[in-house]
Structure 1
């Protein structure tokens, strides 16, 4: 049965060859085993999670009385790499999932234990490792002395943790949040790479944030649905359900909570950034001054016209 789910890949074989060249190990032999696979234990995740925030705090302290770094060249290469690796991982995941959905049905691609294949696990693990690399995003911002809001810091740290939860829980639905997130990251890191070297305003920035919000709506639909049918089937069979759904229920609940928090935080960010912009006190004062000047000029012009007309009348 499992062999029926190990379908032909088109992009993945090239990715696997590159991976073997870099690591010296055949990806076909990979299996995520807690305690054996690097960065597979909760202890390792917790330590690196905390270290991320400590390092950012130390960099900000170090940069307090120093000029910001520019980092244009290295930031451009960094963003291009993340755009490329996100594209490769995204296409590789979707090429398997689409085949599974066509051959076995969409529900099986979401819930069947066999649909959580070895090759997909390789891709999920690579995506998980990339989340550590993405911490460099924050390091660059700190070195450039850019303001970091709660959303950025929370999102980067928790996304790494959620990717570990997905591997730990072996949930078949893992492909949904991972592949959709990778698709968004292809566009997002292209945007970052572009703005690194071209300072001209990108007109579609607002739609990128909208896409991120749509991502979380789709994620919630998928993971809430999979979690519901798992609990309904196993604990409340009287409720309508689609049968059992493969995955650890605790990790599923954590995933639901974090993805939901992302949705609300990104909606709040969208409103604050694109809907709730208010002019600064200085800008408001300048506008008021300009309006007052304009009104005064108009009154003077009107009076001059009256004087000229009166003078012409008597002449």
Structure 2
């Protein structure tokens, strides 16, 4: 059911207090590895996305203003067959990884719904929201695990920008903002175990499966109708706008816990509310940039 936002989530908000909240537990799939357990905790330090994101954004800005980029001059390696096949490997790898994430998180949603409600009962929105919001449901059935790897993948995805720059093309504001913001948004969602982060993982992994498949085809010089590229951009805009609205709704969602018979709010900590705010704020300019790209690339080119 819908109600007002819990005042304690924002009235006395303190980022310092949010950072003091307990770290989420290491996913059970990683718990037996000391190295991966250490990596999980270390990579969720706020300094990791801030440092990498800043280095990335500054490096792209400086490279964009270099003489080579101004002259649209690719590096020598970018003109080799090896570079082409490395790009194919990069795109195909991210396509397969994104598909693995999408299938995995859908299975986790199904499992979470099954353990949250009565398996013999008809479909219930209360059970659905309970499976999304309860820390004992979707988070433990797979969101912590798949979401964490998805967070790490955002650092690797800057290779997209490296490929563009290597070809002598500038990186657009959309490209740079998209990658930098994704690092911080996914960090916040996983660090604070914020329920709405499931939307980012589900929607984005699906879109990326299609997008990187498209990039794989174009890298192999397989002709793809322009309408498919326009459709992909439309899907991205739909994901951003629809996902942002759906994510924001979590702040107003309450559900009945079947075990305790109590009504619980979907967001229970200031950290979770902060993560939601970060994602919604990030998505607003991103939607504008994607819509501007769509108008510039497809509608204006068609009219001219």
TM over 0.5: yes
Higher relative contact order (CA 8 A, sep 6+): 2
1:107 aligns with 2:133: no
Instruction: Work out the CA distance in 2 between the residues paired with 1:138 and 1:75.
Output: 12
Alignment of 1:1-315 (within 5 A): 27-29=30-32, 37-60=41-64, 61=66, 63-64=68-69, 66-68=73-75, 69-70=78-79, 71-104=83-116, 105-115=127-137, 116-117=139-140, 119-198=142-221, 200-203=223-226, 204-229=228-253, 243-246=264-267, 248-277=272-301
Whole-angstrom distance in 1 between the partners of 2:202 and 2:294: 23
Deviations 1:253-293 (A, max 9, x none): 1111112222222222212221122788xxxxxxxxxxxxx
After superposition, the Cα gap between the structure-2 partners of 1:264 and 1:67, relative to the gap in structure 1 and judged at 3 Å, is closer
**Normalized against structure 1, the TM-score is what?**
0.70
Q: Secondary structure at the match of 2:42?
A: coil
Q: Following TM superposition, by how much is the alpha carbon of 1:251 offset from its aligned partner in structure 2, in angstroms?
A: 1.5
Alpha-carbon contact 2:49-2:184 (below 8 Å) kept = yes
Change (3 A) 1:35 1:126: closer
Structure 1 residues without counterparts, runs of 5 or longer: 1-24, 231-241, 281-315
Aligned-residue offset at 1:53:
2.0
Asked if the contact 1:63/1:143 (under 8 Å) is kept, the reply is no
Residues 106-146 of structure 1: per-residue CA shift (max 9 Å, x gap): 11122222122164212111111111110100001001012
Native 8 Å contact 1:34 1:168 kept in 2:
no
CA contact (8 A) 2:237 2:290 kept: yes
Deviation, 1:34, is 10
Distance 1:28 1:91 in 2: 22
- Helix, strand or coil: the match of 2:301? coil
- State the 1:26 CA deviation: 5.4
Q: Counterparts of 1:179 and 1:125 in 2: how far apart (Å)?
A: 13
Name the SS for the 1:113 alignment partner: coil
Contact 1:109 1:173 in 2 (8 A): no
Check whether the contact 2:112–2:141 (CA below 8 A) recurs between aligned residues. Answer: no
**Matched residues in 1 for 2:222 and 2:142: separation?**
40
For residue 40 of structure 1, report the CA deviation from its aligned partner: 1.4
TM-score (norm 2): 0.72
**Partners of 2:230 and 2:298 within 8 A in 1:** yes
Runs ≥4 residues deviating over 3 A: 28-36, 57-60, 62-68
- Structure with the greater alpha carbon radius of gyration: 1
Q: Between Structure 1 and Structure 2, how many residues are aligned?
A: 247
